[in-house]
Amino acid sequence: MKSNQNGIQIGFDPNEKPGHRVIAKTVKVQGKSLDRDRKYAGKDGYTMFSSCPHRNDIENAQILSTILINHFESGHEEVHVWPQDGPHQGVQQPLCVW
């Protein structure tokens, strides 16, 4: 199977076990083979995050779904509501979640 998302092309085998489904030699970024020694940066328009310090080592950080599950299972009732006006919906400083 193949997938192409935002200039990243991958081939994967859904029958392989988790963590082994992506076929490494098929990964291409902007049509070029993945350089495993290069650090890639996204171009999603989220420039406000460029100055955020990394709070966790990316290699050892929890995935977002795990963080959210842990938060909701913890029983915290804290809710943040941002105004619905303005380009950043009331956010005055970057919110860094790493």
Euclidean distance between CA atoms 48 and 93, whole angstroms:
8
pLDDT at 46: 67
Whether pTM > 0.75 for this model: the answer is no
Query: What is the CB neighbour count within 10 angstroms for residue 23?
Result: 14
**Which amino acid type is present at position 52?**
C
CA distances from 20 to 13, 16, 23, 72, 82 (A): 8, 6, 8, 29, 40
**pLDDT tens digits along 42-56:** 666 667 667 777 666
Domain extents for the chain? 2-34+51-73
pLDDT at 24: 86
User: Smallest Cα–Cα separation from 1: which of 19, 18, 26, 30?
Assistant: 26
- pLDDT higher at 82 or 75: 75
**pLDDT tens digits along 55-76:** 667 677 778 788 778 877 877 6
Query: What is the CB neighbour count within 10 angstroms for residue 18?
Result: 5
